[in-house]
Structure 1
Amino acid sequence: MGCAQSGAKAATSDGKSGGVTAVDKQQAKEENKKYEETMSFLSQVPLFMRLPKDQHPILAAACVNQPFKAGQTIITQGETGREFFIIQSGEAEVSVNDGGSQKKVATLKQGDYFGENALLRNEPRSATIKAVSEIKTLKITQEKFQQLGLNEKIQFANRKAVGAGGKRQLVVKPPSDKTATERQLMETALKKNENIQTMVELDEVRVKQIIDIAWKETVPSGKEIIAQGDLAADYFYICQSGKFEIFVSDKNDSDRKLVQTVVSGGSFGELALLYLVPRAATVVAKEDSVVWVIDRKNFKDILMKVSDEKIQEYVKYLNRVEILSSLLAAEKQQVAKALTEKKFSKNEVIIQQGDPGTTFYILFEGEVSVSIDGDEKARLQASEERGTAQYFGERALLNDEPRAATVRVVSKDAKALALDKEAFDLLLGPLEDIMARKGEATAKAVAPPAGEAPAPSGRDPNRPKILMTDLQKVGLLGAGGFGAVELWEHKHSGETYAMKCISKGFIVKTGMQDSVITEKNILFMTNSDFIIRLHETYNSKQSIYFLMEPALGGELYSMYQRKGFYGSEKHAKFYSAGVLCAFDHLHERHIIYRDLKPENLLLNEKGHLKVTDMGLAKFVIGKTYTTCGTPDYFAPEVIASTGHNHAVDWWMLGVLIFEFMTGSAPFEAPYPMQIYAKVLKGINAVKFPPQLSPQCVEIVKAICQKEPADRLPMLTGGSKNIKTHSWYKGFNWDKFTEFTLEAPFIPKVKSKKDLANFSVHPDEMPRFIEYVDDGTGWDKDFATC
């Protein structure tokens, strides 16, 4: 009652209320409207979509009005950016320096924005933006953004890895007959598809082979031939007749946009030829149409035929090695696939007299000197062009006896194929046993499959079991499309663990049964303080589970973004050193990792690095041909499908160092095909920011050589070449490996149950695909206890 009376007394006949005029009310109303519009603007910016909704009002309030006159430069290419802008009214033009002259590339209007990355890190502006007319902008500075702690609250989306499709059965139809006109149409379509040309070199022979395996299908008007988000992305299409429309939808499918029309001679779906990735668009037949279909498996097989020719060449070399004469033809094929190419420089010693012998070499390019006690006894010459080869060190395959001579390169450089005794024994067993069986009628079966080392399996039986019934859930650490990682606590000991749960329906739909089995085996077979440990696996009706060591310091990717570590050599050296140690441990066990990126690197409570997620790792001797990984980190040989070995891991380390130092990957681009085009141009085409030290530029370029054998850790000396590089000068490797070197950043971890360093965006919450047991028993070994 008292409040009502007070209000009545305050009212006056001139329309004022407590001294507030109608004009004041209107002004307040307009200001509130502008404030809401600002929040609406900000909610459309991808960076701020990752900011919790309760922080949007704080962000909007921190924006200030900033007008610019017509002709005024807002930002200049090359300058360090520390401000973000949203255009409220007016128009601006975007231009880039192209060979000394400014080239206009875009126009910005109301609602457009630029400079969002400047809020997180100092990076050079990639273009110049100038006001065309008088414009009004909203601006927020990096200083204000970080002062409000907004950089600490952004939830960063992880870059997704792509796989090869695994065991999933493709429907492959017999090739259809083709007329000369149809063959010409397909040839033209393949050659004008820029994305395919970026991925692989299609010579006339390959084009003919691809056309040979294609089959024809009719597509009625209105049929959806490709659905956006579909995991069954296995085919590439060439339009023979008719018309197709390509649509892209937003995340909620509420806004479907027509982005392209494909008619006769056009093609679509080419990413499916490279790897398994959900479809990026929907394709619908606009009218009755006819297409030619090419499946991924046959396409990849055609690409690998060149490698098969190389293998046969290697077999010819092996046929000349006398102590290998007892090998069966199939066994020589296995050995040929396991050979690793090495490159040597002039005066480099390949074999040193007196050293233990563990590696056998086939010289196929260059000249070497063979000397005993300092006296030259012979020179060996080989030429790739003439098909001549020499071999030495073959007795290393029998035993570890000291080298009888020194072999030194005397030509400008030399190339050789190498095979160590351990790899040979893993493939075929000890050579002395094979030689002993010479002349016997029974032949030994060849295992494992081409290029792969035998995959050990199972947990350590001596380790105490951890029962799932003794665990209770604490909370969510992370999530992906079809799985989640949760923190669980042991009811009795109080120890905490990270529990990774994966939908079995998703595994089967994507054919990844072998991959998850390999992931389990690899984790059980690693024992490094730089790699997350696996304690148990469990099995339920719908899911499989990995019980792992927790790393509660958080994900390195998010930490770099929030704390602004980009550009710090101290941090980059410390974290890249951890990756190097993890790789040494894996490579010693013939494991290729294949999915390095900051998102897969965790910190423990002491700030020490842990490599996680072995989903794409594989036991390999020699080469493997699966195209998988994260596109920003793809090596050239992965894109070209020419086969890869552990050299791809070192390539990724070079990319990682570049990202640590600059804030972005060296070949970063909006679309995968643009990334691949940059990768294939090579590291020398990448523009290095001027603030990077010469030593940093040098080590990245030395690691990211296009030819795998030329990469710094692939040269004689291995990973020690990185450790002794000038960029690491002053870095104490002994203290680092003993964990007595202080970490550059110690995360705040209050207890074993602290989830504060992890956050999950709603978009990342897992979905599960119902699993119906197929009776194969692929999952039986996940019930370790």
Structure 2
Amino acid sequence: MGCSCVKSDMGRTSGYIVPENQFLEINKKIFSKESTDFHYPGTNDKRSTAFKQRHQKPIIDLRRMLYANSEASSAIVNDKEKTKEDIKLILDVINKHSILQNLDEDSQMVLVKNMRFYEIGPRECIFEQGQPGFCFYVLSSGRVELRVDNERKDILKSGSGFGELALLDDRPRSATVRTIESCCLWGVSRETFKDAVKKIMALNYEENKNFIESVPIFKTFTNSQKDALLSSLVTQRFSIGERIVKQGDTGDLFYIIKDGLVSCTENDREIRQMGKGEYFGELALLNDFKRTATITAVGDVKLVSIGRKALIEVLGNNLEQIWYRNALRISVEKSSALKILSIDQKELIFNLMKVTSYKAGELVIPRGTPKGRNLWITTKGLIRGPLGTIEAYSCIGDEELLADPYENYSVDFISESDLIVAHITKEEIEKSMEGTLIEIQAMNEIIEILKSVQLLKELSIERFKLLISVLREVHYTDNQIIVEQNSLGDSFFIVKSGKVHVQKDGVNIRNITKHDYFGERSVLFNDFKRSATVVANGEVDCWIVEKKDFLNIIDEGIKVQLLKRIELQDDMITFDEILPIKTLGRGNFGTVYLTAHKRKKAFYALKSVLKAKVYEYETYQNILLERNILLQLDHNMIVKLVKTFKDDSRFYFLMEYVHGQDLFDVLLALNILSENDAKFYAGCLVLMLQYLHERDIIYRDLKPENVMIDEEGYPKLIDFGAAKVLHGRSYTTVGTPHYMAPEVFLGAGYSMQADLWSLGVMIYEFLYGKLPFGENLDDPHEIYEKILEYRLCFPRDLDSAAYSKNLIQQLLNKNPALRMGGVTSKLKEHKWFLGLPWERIITKQQRAPHIPKLRSLSSELANAKKRNKTMQEFIAFEEQNENFPRSPENEPPGGWDMEF
């Protein structure tokens, strides 16, 4: 049942970052703003005004944040050993605080273990209002007062805790705390706590992952399925003599022993003991299963478990079918003959395969069976063939499907154990795919190459087939000229095999090898002259498509997008060719300017970063990470990095300029979105996240303010200061509280699923015009509490929108594993998105709900030309009032910035 919710006039707390090295650039909304005060045009809405005011608040001086004196500076601090009473006191306090009580038992004990003992006299300051927070304290004896704006608000006594928000981030203290009398406290700093939790969580994650990978029934799981499984594991503890499972009971839990010993007994007789890394109860995951033994803790035992119900929630209803399909996928991926098939083609084959079970010693494939006409896949058990034993997850007959040798098998294939085999004939495969396997393999190979052009990625198979139908193959001999510099071009080339040299004015500038392409400009521009000569280096085969054929298949919308991307791939642009126009915005480290190419009149955003600040705060890795991430990205709904520069004083990022309006303002203008408009914006966000996650990039600060709506009305993701290449898990608190997944601010470790939570918040906001948690709150602590309370309300009059409600509930699930398993491709298959034209959206052919009304930049460009200032002169003038040392005190590592 839904509940009524009141819309608030308030905005939301802005994004922030607490990085691995205690600092990461805060660089918000600076790629496209129209003025230096971060004005949000087009609305006088009170909510927008409140939001603007928060963004205009003075930021905390970062040097003070980094080098502030420790809190409770007059206290005597030591590592006093904790008694049982001390531990109980601290745990009692922890469990009174809504955020800390949500920490798991291991994290709570880490907090207790790392607390130090403070002795401090009367009338001493522990911390001051407005200063960044560093520590959490538990009052063991004595009294302290809380003062806000010099007015006493409360008195705390023994058994109270305060300052807990400092364990999450370094936001300013909301009150001053002073001792009334001599006090004893237990205290722990954020850095100590987070480092300790990170170590134990990372260790637990790796240990659990190794355990899972050692269990045979999970070997077929994909990485995303394993990650979902790991997120659903529950830790359980048993004391000596406690019974874990009872013989004869029906169970649905599978257990892995993490620490300790258990005794296995049948009919009160011990069979054996099991220890760390061993497991029991795996059959319970498949069906109702009666325990065949009683398991009892020999001493203190720690286990992780997962139940069939939880596994079904994460993976789906038919677990046996999932295991079977996973086995088929693993087998086909190992096959050089079949792995080139598309996902859809593989699934088509799997659907048609017939499954047969065999007992040990049974005949599976008799001698005399023709080769090249059948495919068998072993999903369980062992089979003996002509070259020895064939293990599970293997293909038989796959290579011969392409060779078609017209031979027969000369020996029998016999099962060596209980065996399950899936079978299909070559005739059935080719009939289902409407072509021979050799033709299909060749077509798939070309499609994969064409998909490397980002704007062609989402084309339908039909369009790809049309494109392939006009390709012609041409052979070139060693040193043969394929295209010549300054000649008119009207063909697009893909290298099928071999290698070619690209030469400019007789000098070799790069090589192009198999499956790369060149000449795309010639099919897009009229009277295009080749910018370089291309020469065969050895024997070369190329696929060629003529301009007239290409343009008949690629419509005007796609052509326009290709032209724009080519403009942004001009890596020949020099710093002297950039004309400064105006300042767009300032961040803590970077200032962004609107610029234009002096000749082409193309607009760019140039971010300038002072080297002295990078050296002072030692943020070398952060700036390299941002650069490396941006260089990987080539998506028409993600801001594009054109090139980077450096000089003696600064680093420069030359970016695509997004002339538009941010999504926050668009939502204010449109108010509550219609279902179709919400689907459009949500679909665009899904495509962005899918692109990033496929490249192991987690965004970590998805919210309307970080999405621009360009002049065509399409979203563009900006600001990658919080993004990270992620292999495994991250433990950094990053993002904006209203949009932050609970696992992020709890510090338990998170993965790509955190982005899906933020997406769920945005879809809720699209449909209901407000935030799901803490809509009228500004304090991060209170927002976190509302998220953890998890009162997800849907207005009663909108309850009928079952598909959207179901999607939001999945994305805003507190268990990350249940957010579509963390797989963005599953999102596109959700019923709410049914009928959404993904191909038309990725190629920007679908009409957008809102086209921003934007003023022309021509007059500003004309004024900039009249000023005729160089970029360095303009920046020097803008920076003249910056109070920062020009000469860094810290010596930078040698050669660290060679990539710029």
How does the TM-score come out when normalised to structure 1?
Answer: 0.58
Partner SS state of residue 493, structure 1: coil
Which residue of structure 2 lines up, in the alignment, with residue 436 of structure 1? none
Measure the CA separation in 2 of the matches of 1:710 and 1:461: 39
Which residue of structure 2 lines up, in the alignment, with residue 196 of structure 1? 100
Which residue of structure 2 lines up, in the alignment, with residue 532 of structure 1? 639
* 2:190 is the counterpart of 1:215: no
Task: From 701, 711, 722, give the equivalent of 2:827.
Answer: 722
Task: From 620, 627, 632, give the equivalent of 2:738.
Answer: 632
Measure the CA separation in 2 of the matches of 1:598 and 1:726: 24
* 2:885 is the counterpart of 1:773: no
Residues 168-197 of structure 1: CA deviation (Å, up to 9, x unaligned): 799998733345554454333323333422
Measure the CA separation in 1 of the matches of 2:124 and 2:596: 51
Which residue of structure 2 lines up, in the alignment, with residue 308 of structure 1? 203
Quick check: 289-298 or 547-556, which moved more? 289-298
Query: Cα 1:314–1:181, aligned 2, differ >3 Å: closer, same or farther?
Result: closer
Measure the CA separation in 2 of the matches of 1:526 and 1:614: 11
Measure the CA separation in 2 of the matches of 1:246 and 1:394: 69
Does the 8 A contact of 1:245 with 1:283 survive in 2?
A: yes
- The residue type paired with residue 190 of structure 1 is I
* 2:852 is the counterpart of 1:742: no
Partner SS state of residue 547, structure 1: strand
Task: From 635, 657, 661, give the equivalent of 1:554.
Answer: 661
Partner SS state of residue 351, structure 1: helix
Task: From 658, 664, 670, give the equivalent of 2:764.
Answer: 658
Partner SS state of residue 595, structure 1: coil
Task: From 306, 317, 321, give the equivalent of 1:345.
Answer: 317
Any gaps of 5 or more consecutive residues in structure 2?
12-41, 71-76, 232-313, 336-349, 360-378, 382-390, 403-419, 424-566, 862-880
Query: Cα 1:650–1:540, aligned 2, differ >3 Å: closer, same or farther?
Result: same
Measure the CA separation in 2 of the matches of 1:287 and 1:541: 56
How does the TM-score come out when normalised to structure 2?
Answer: 0.51
* 2:780 is the counterpart of 1:672: yes
Percent of matched pairs sharing the same residue: 25
Deviation for aligned residue 1:593? 1.0
Does the 8 A contact of 1:247 with 1:257 survive in 2?
A: yes
Task: From 157, 171, 185, give the equivalent of 1:277.
Answer: 171
CA RMSD of aligned residues (A): 5.0
Residues 438-470 of structure 1: CA deviation (Å, up to 9, x unaligned): xxxxxxxxxxxxxxxxxxxxxx99952544454
Query: Cα 1:626–1:767, aligned 2, differ >3 Å: closer, same or farther?
Result: farther
Query: Cα 1:508–1:629, aligned 2, differ >3 Å: closer, same or farther?
Result: farther
Task: From 707, 726, 740, give the equivalent of 2:815.
Answer: 707
* 2:138 is the counterpart of 1:238: yes
Any gaps of 5 or more consecutive residues in structure 1?
1-76, 82-114, 119-147, 250-255, 325-332, 361-368, 382-390, 408-459, 757-765
Measure the CA separation in 1 of the matches of 2:683 and 2:651: 33
Which residue of structure 1 lines up, in the alignment, with residue 80 of structure 2? 176
- The residue type paired with residue 293 of structure 1 is G
Deviation for aligned residue 1:530? 1.2
* 2:710 is the counterpart of 1:604: yes
- The residue type paired with residue 673 of structure 1 is H
Which residue of structure 1 lines up, in the alignment, with residue 356 of structure 2? 375
Which residue of structure 2 lines up, in the alignment, with residue 364 of structure 1? none
Query: Cα 1:586–1:753, aligned 2, differ >3 Å: closer, same or farther?
Result: farther
Deviation for aligned residue 1:735? 0.8
Partner SS state of residue 628, structure 1: strand
Query: Cα 1:345–1:267, aligned 2, differ >3 Å: closer, same or farther?
Result: same
Deviation for aligned residue 1:645? 1.4
Query: Cα 1:610–1:224, aligned 2, differ >3 Å: closer, same or farther?
Result: farther
Deviation for aligned residue 1:156? 6.0
- The residue type paired with residue 157 of structure 1 is F
Deviation for aligned residue 1:471? 3.5
Which residue of structure 2 lines up, in the alignment, with residue 457 of structure 1? none
- The residue type paired with residue 308 of structure 1 is L
Deviation for aligned residue 1:207? 4.3
Measure the CA separation in 1 of the matches of 2:807 and 2:690: 18
Task: From 805, 821, 824, give the equivalent of 1:697.
Answer: 805
Does the 8 A contact of 2:616 with 2:889 survive in 1?
A: no
Does the 8 A contact of 1:602 with 1:610 survive in 2?
A: yes
Query: Cα 1:778–1:221, aligned 2, differ >3 Å: closer, same or farther?
Result: farther
- The residue type paired with residue 314 of structure 1 is K
Measure the CA separation in 1 of the matches of 2:147 and 2:570: 54
Measure the CA separation in 2 of the matches of 1:694 and 1:754: 50
Residues 38-84 of structure 1: CA deviation (Å, up to 9, x unaligned): xxxxxxxxxxxxxxxxxxxxxxxxxxxxxxxxxxxxxxx95988xxx
Partner SS state of residue 709, structure 1: helix
Residues 21-49 of structure 1: CA deviation (Å, up to 9, x unaligned): xxxxxxxxxxxxxxxxxxxxxxxxxxxxx
Deviation for aligned residue 1:698? 1.8
* 2:629 is the counterpart of 1:514: no
Residues 84-114 of structure 1: CA deviation (Å, up to 9, x unaligned): xxxxxxxxxxxxxxxxxxxxxxxxxxxxxxx
Measure the CA separation in 2 of the matches of 1:219 and 1:638: 34
Measure the CA separation in 2 of the matches of 1:468 and 1:591: 29
Does the 8 A contact of 1:539 with 1:783 survive in 2?
A: no
Partner SS state of residue 735, structure 2: coil
Residues 727-777 of structure 1: CA deviation (Å, up to 9, x unaligned): 233422111111111111111223346999xxxxxxxxx987657635452
Query: Cα 1:521–1:189, aligned 2, differ >3 Å: closer, same or farther?
Result: same
Query: Cα 1:169–1:178, aligned 2, differ >3 Å: closer, same or farther?
Result: farther
Measure the CA separation in 2 of the matches of 1:359 and 1:272: 50
5 Å-filtered alignment, 1:464-475, equals 464-475=571-582
Does the 8 A contact of 1:523 with 1:614 survive in 2?
A: yes
Does the 8 A contact of 1:616 with 1:628 survive in 2?
A: yes
Measure the CA separation in 2 of the matches of 1:664 and 1:392: 52
Measure the CA separation in 2 of the matches of 1:621 and 1:260: 46
Query: Cα 1:720–1:495, aligned 2, differ >3 Å: closer, same or farther?
Result: same
Which residue of structure 1 lines up, in the alignment, with residue 523 of structure 2? none
Deviation for aligned residue 1:495? 2.5
Deviation for aligned residue 1:117? 6.7
* 2:606 is the counterpart of 1:499: yes
* 2:753 is the counterpart of 1:647: yes
Measure the CA separation in 2 of the matches of 1:338 and 1:359: 24
Task: From 667, 680, 684, give the equivalent of 1:574.
Answer: 680
Residues 247-297 of structure 1: CA deviation (Å, up to 9, x unaligned): 445xxxxxx554444343322221221234344444444555443221224
Deviation for aligned residue 1:319? 5.0
Deviation for aligned residue 1:380? 8.0
Which residue of structure 2 lines up, in the alignment, with residue 126 of structure 1? none
- The residue type paired with residue 197 of structure 1 is Q
Deviation for aligned residue 1:532? 0.6
Deviation for aligned residue 1:531? 0.8
Number of residue pairs matched? 538
Residues 547-598 of structure 1: CA deviation (Å, up to 9, x unaligned): 321112121112222x133233333222222211111111111111111000
- The residue type paired with residue 216 of structure 1 is F
Measure the CA separation in 2 of the matches of 1:258 and 1:268: 15
Residues 492-547 of structure 1: CA deviation (Å, up to 9, x unaligned): 43332223355777767877553333222111111111111112345578765433
Does the 8 A contact of 1:221 with 1:286 survive in 2?
A: yes
Measure the CA separation in 1 of the matches of 2:327 and 2:859: 54
Task: From 90, 101, 113, give the equivalent of 1:186.
Answer: 90
Measure the CA separation in 1 of the matches of 2:85 and 2:630: 54
Measure the CA separation in 2 of the matches of 1:235 and 1:652: 28
